[in-house]
Structure 1
Amino acid sequence: MNISTGLILFFLILFIASFFVMSEYVLVRIRPSRLDFLISNGNKNAKILKNMTVKLDTYLSATQLGVTITSLALGWLGDPTFKRIFDNLFANFTMPARVSTVLSFLISFIILTAIQVIIGELVPKNIAITKTEQLGLKLARPLNIWYKIMYPLIFILNKTANGISKGLGFQTFSESDDNVSEEELRMIMSESLKSGEINHEEYQYVENVFDFDERMAREIMVPRTEMAVLWAEDSLEDIAATVQKEKYTRYPVVEGDKDNILGTINTKEIFSAYIEAIQTNTADQFDIHHYLRPAVTVIETLPIKELLVKMQKERNQLAILIDEYGGTSGLISIEDIVEEIVGDISDDFQTEEQPDFVKLGENHYRIRARMLIDDVNEVFGLNIEEENVDTIGGWILNEKYDIEVGQEIIQKDVLFKVIQKEKNSIELVDVFINHDGTTLDIEDEE
């Protein structure tokens, strides 16, 4: 075989090798969901490619077999061809035969390896990664033909490899768990955000879903002390005054105290009753008990994902949370749960809420005492741990139950200073990061 024929065959085999390399990367990277969309639009190649992703184990074996055969062929054909080229080149120089033989071998080996790695491996890999879908649809049919031709050999090789793997105590490809973990999904989403594939809002939705799975109802409830309620003895005028002040649609109805909740009412029904009572002059005959609906009552430690399902099944917008002693600890609405994923939802009557934290100066922040400890840890890089309470205000009271406005608690190099307190509940706290531990004056808060 002359040099020209050898070079032509070498680059032809190199092209075939690149085909198998590209096919391997395409099979690993192609998105099955995208193939489903293409199949629904009648793309036949997408259907073939989808079948390959379902039988990924055997089709990857087909590409690896192709890569191995072509690599052996490149070495068998390329080594003598390139060596002959450099033998002819060094024949023009005056040097010992042994030196020219060694140089010819080394240079041909280096060039042959470089060509095979760059053109046969790296370039096809880059093309497959950047043009996965387009390339996959073009390679699907020829790869499928190769698979069918070599299936008997692929079957034998796969069975042998699986037997050896099991003998060594390892799972086979089909037995292994190829599910993506939560941490892997977070990393994928983070990389997609950096590359611009998704925007920040989409990324935040996914993060919220992961956090949603871990939240308990008490972490997002309206606490008992802040619950807007109607009383069983309220008249229509009393109810109208409460609705005008609070501007909610649904209210729990209590009798005696907030531990005795009779049910919930929808003010739309009360409004209709109010109109009818005015028209018929029967306001004194109004009885709130006629409009009561059963309340969803659950323990405060119930995960919100389970509470959401329960509220959906019972078609109720409000849930009453009770503590371990059976007393009312707070309430939660469907809106509160949905906001954990999509963020705050404001209606026409809501005033702008104070944010959980605002920056007042360098290393100086003001936070709401209802801010969750987990969120405080994340925002300020702390490691506060408390099993019995969820909020930073609860943690401060746990540390010093009789703390007053202006008093402080120091956690490592972070100082917490109570700024506002209502009865037994802390409302606002100032946070000083990288604090040296010295006491602050009350005037220092601003």
Structure 2
Amino acid sequence: MSAISIVLSLLGFVLLTLGTAVFVAAEFSLTALERSTVDANARTGGSRDRMVQRAHRTLSFQLSGAQIGISITTLITGYLAEPVIARLLAPALDAAGLPAGWVEGSALALALLIATSVSMVFGELVAQYLAVAVPLSTARVVAGPQVLFSAAFTPLIRLTNGVANWVLKRFGFEPADELSSARSPKELISLVRTSAQQGSLDQATAILVDRSLQFGGRNAEEFMTPRSKVESLDADA
């Protein structure tokens, strides 16, 4: 293997790891965003915000595309990087006094460990933590490449999506293309009380909203008397 081949293979390893990071970041940033935030930014922002909205509205499709992208880049990464790294490690293992019959196998094992570790740390964990920490900013960067990749691999994505949806339906779950942004009454009550404590919501308004939300959990029979139990007087009595 020539020096040029080694350099090109290592460069490919770096680019593929970056590609894995893009797909991982797209997956986590899109799922971390709420629909209301995405729609608001799309109305007031630029083309990147509209691209984020486009990706978010077809979430299950984009997640399938991201998974396929991660699988492709990691597989090619192993194919390119392991032989090159093993070739670079072999002389060092030989010089360390390792038996000749063990050098090749040990070099390949170490190469696999190194390539997998680099891909996992820089291609997955770093991208994942970044996407969770700043989902909107991350989504603005990666949504475009993610949408383009998904468009290019539409047939394969539709196939995998169809199989996944079929499995979900067999277990009684209804697949969804985007995350629900609805809040439960308990979450809304907590949000109202927190806002009142921080001073961002008027106390009287907070009490009214709080009571209104709690009122929704009651039945009419708790406040009304059945007609059969009503005692009345004649108007002329």
Provide the rounded CA distance (Å) in 2 between the counterparts of 1:124 and 1:110: 20
Given the superposition, is the C-alpha separation of residues 64 and 327 from structure 1 closer, same or farther in structure 2, using an over 3 Å criterion?
Answer: same
1:214 aligns with 2:217: yes
Aligned-pair distance for 1:215?
Answer: 4.5
Q: TM-score, normalised by structure 2?
A: 0.76
2:235 matched to which residue of 1? none
- 1:246-325 to structure 2, matched below 5 A, reads 301-302=222-223, 325=229
What is the one-letter code of the residue matched to 2:130?
I
2:158 matched to which residue of 1? 155
Retained in 2: the 8 A contact 1:3–1:85? Answer: no
What is the one-letter code of the residue matched to 1:36?
D
Given the superposition, is the C-alpha separation of residues 67 and 188 from structure 1 closer, same or farther in structure 2, using an over 3 Å criterion?
Answer: farther
Retained in 1: the 8 A contact 2:189–2:213? Answer: no
- Which structure dedicates a bigger proportion of its chain to strand? 1
| Rg larger for | 1
Provide the rounded CA distance (Å) in 1 between the counterparts of 2:185 and 2:88: 54
1:139 aligns with 2:43: no
1:113 matched to which residue of 2? 116
- Which structure dedicates a bigger proportion of its chain to helix? 2
Given the superposition, is the C-alpha separation of residues 53 and 93 from structure 1 closer, same or farther in structure 2, using an over 3 Å criterion?
Answer: same
What is the one-letter code of the residue matched to 1:301?
E
- Percent of aligned pairs with the same residue? 21
Retained in 2: the 8 A contact 1:14–1:74? Answer: yes
Given the superposition, is the C-alpha separation of residues 153 and 84 from structure 1 closer, same or farther in structure 2, using an over 3 Å criterion?
Answer: same
Aligned-pair distance for 1:158?
Answer: 2.1
Provide the rounded CA distance (Å) in 2 between the counterparts of 1:171 and 1:300: 34
Given the superposition, is the C-alpha separation of residues 108 and 183 from structure 1 closer, same or farther in structure 2, using an over 3 Å criterion?
Answer: farther
Tell me: higher relative CO, structure 1 or 2? Use CA pairs within 8 A at least 6 residues apart.
2
1:173 matched to which residue of 2? 175
What is the one-letter code of the residue matched to 1:155?
R
Provide the rounded CA distance (Å) in 1 between the counterparts of 2:174 and 2:80: 35
Aligned-pair distance for 1:92?
Answer: 1.8
1:55 matched to which residue of 2? 58
Retained in 1: the 8 A contact 2:41–2:49? Answer: yes
2:230 matched to which residue of 1? 326
Aligned-pair distance for 1:79?
Answer: 1.6
Retained in 2: the 8 A contact 1:20–1:67? Answer: yes
Q: What is the SS of the residue equivalent to 1:95?
A: coil
Aligned-pair distance for 1:188?
Answer: 8.7
Aligned-pair distance for 1:149?
Answer: 1.4
Q: What is the SS of the residue equivalent to 1:91?
A: helix
2:184 matched to which residue of 1? 182
1:5 matched to which residue of 2? 8
1:130 aligns with 2:130: no
1:80 aligns with 2:1: no
Retained in 2: the 8 A contact 1:13–1:74? Answer: yes
Provide the rounded CA distance (Å) in 2 between the counterparts of 1:176 and 1:138: 20
RMSD: 3.5
1:24 aligns with 2:27: yes
Q: TM-score, normalised by structure 1?
A: 0.43
Aligned-pair distance for 1:187?
Answer: 11
Retained in 2: the 8 A contact 1:79–1:112? Answer: yes
Retained in 1: the 8 A contact 2:58–2:177? Answer: no
1:34 aligns with 2:37: yes
Retained in 2: the 8 A contact 1:35–1:50? Answer: yes
Aligned-pair distance for 1:90?
Answer: 1.2
Aligned-pair distance for 1:20?
Answer: 0.5
1:81-127 per-position Cα deviation (integer Å, ceiling 9, x unaligned): 22112112212222212333343233222222221111111100111
Given the superposition, is the C-alpha separation of residues 170 and 182 from structure 1 closer, same or farther in structure 2, using an over 3 Å criterion?
Answer: same
Retained in 2: the 8 A contact 1:26–1:132? Answer: yes
Retained in 2: the 8 A contact 1:3–1:84? Answer: no
Given the superposition, is the C-alpha separation of residues 170 and 213 from structure 1 closer, same or farther in structure 2, using an over 3 Å criterion?
Answer: closer
What is the one-letter code of the residue matched to 1:326?
V
Segments of structure 2 that go 5 or more residues without pairing to the other structure are 233-237
Given the superposition, is the C-alpha separation of residues 123 and 189 from structure 1 closer, same or farther in structure 2, using an over 3 Å criterion?
Answer: farther
1:4-29 per-position Cα deviation (integer Å, ceiling 9, x unaligned): 22211101100011000001111111
Segments of structure 1 that go 5 or more residues without pairing to the other structure are 217-298, 303-320, 329-446
